[in-house]
Amino acid sequence: MSSYFNPLIGVKKDNHLQLEIKNMSSNRDHSLFSIGPVSKASLLIVIFAGLYYFMTGSTEYIDSSSTYEEETYTETQGGGSISSKNGANNYLPTSTTNQVIQHQYYTMSYSEEHEQPEWVAYELKQEQFQRKGVGRSDNFRPDPKVKTRSAYPSDYKRSGYDRGHLVPAGDMNFDKTAMSETFFMSNMSPQIRNFNGGIWRELEENTREWAKKYKHLYVVTGPVLTVNSIDEIGRNQVSVPRTYYKVLLDLTKPETKAIGFILDNKVSDKHLSNFAVTVDEVESLTGIDFFHELLSPEEEEALESQVDIGRWKFSEKRFRQRVKSWNKR
């Protein structure tokens, strides 16, 4: 993003915009010694803001209209696999952004240029759905683990786009912390309302049903950032993706299988199976290599080069419900 930070107003400005400042020194009425106490306080705030900028080199818009509880995490930067308390996450894709961030229940590769992840990855297990579900936390907030700072809730305000979850809240309702982590703004991507609540919702719900049926899935989801975005929103210039993908891998024997989906960010009345593709096709579109450490070259070839729709049961009831009502919210 081409931008600079203006310490006088504390927001990110586009390089093509010009800020006109009157020469106040030539007007005695605007001298430092003739302004009132409120104006003096405002001037001091401006001065300290400028000093903060030069000391920190910050170039990100900070939402001063809201306050957020500070959270402390151990951050992991760079590509490749990350070790967790549950062992090595060797199912992670490659990262093209050099900012891989591990939360307790999922990992992401964050793109500062687009203010959203190029992928989120996690495991979805049958046992997670056997626990009593927790309610949505709806505590949308910036992600303190994003070193370059994430988007803010205000970026989406009056934009006309939904804050679309990449890790769905419904996938993480087995634990309060897991649920809360899905509401980091780093997990959001601007989605057209009836796409988010339509075919995207249907894919998420089908994925949960497949996890229950097949016992365990590796899930990778993200926007396609290699094609031109539809738009940008907010002061942090969050990209509005044109297309999204989801990749699923089932290694539960005897029926191991993989499937990919590529969907445009728009309403659709087509059957979800029409958007099923091979994992290789998603890799070609995104430039991301999936499961390269988890699978041997022979397994990758066998699983990622083909997709058998018949091995994934699609809910016809959800499809009819989406066309009849979800698409018309």
* Among 1-15, 41-55, 174-188, 213-227, the least confident range: 1-15
Domains in the chain with CATH codes: 3-56 (no CATH), 83-328 (3.40.570.10)
- Pull the structure tokens for residue 279: 């994992």
The pLDDT confidence band at residue 235, using thresholds 50, 70 and 90, is very high
Q: Which residue has the higher pLDDT, 215 or 13?
A: 215
Average pLDDT over residues 132-157: 94
Q: What is the pLDDT of residues 306-317, one digit of tens each?
A: 999 999 999 999
Please, what is the average pLDDT of the chain?
Answer: 82
Average pLDDT over residues 251-266: 96
Question: Helices then strands (H, E): number in the chain?
Answer: 7, 15
Give the integer Cα–Cα distance in Å for 111 and 67: 24
pLDDT of residue 167: 98
Residues ≥6 apart with Cβ < 8 Å to 51: none
Average pLDDT over residues 257-267: 98
Backbone angles phi and psi of 119, in degrees to 5: -160, 155
The pLDDT confidence band at residue 49, using thresholds 50, 70 and 90, is low
165 is catalytic: yes
The pLDDT confidence band at residue 89, using thresholds 50, 70 and 90, is confident
Supply the pTM of this predicted model: 0.77
Catalytic annotation, pick one of 16, 30, 114, 165? 165
Q: Which residue has the higher pLDDT, 70 or 160?
A: 160
Average pLDDT over residues 114-143: 94
Query: How, if at all, do strands 238-240 and 243-250 pair?
Result: unpaired
**Residue 73, pLDDT above cutoff 60:** no
The pLDDT confidence band at residue 48, using thresholds 50, 70 and 90, is low
The pLDDT confidence band at residue 19, using thresholds 50, 70 and 90, is very low
Q: What is the pLDDT of residues 178-226, one digit of tens each?
A: 999 999 999 999 999 999 999 999 999 999 999 999 999 999 999 999 9
Residues of the chain with pLDDT > 90, as a percent, come to 70
* Among 60-64, 107-111, 188-192, the least confident range: 60-64
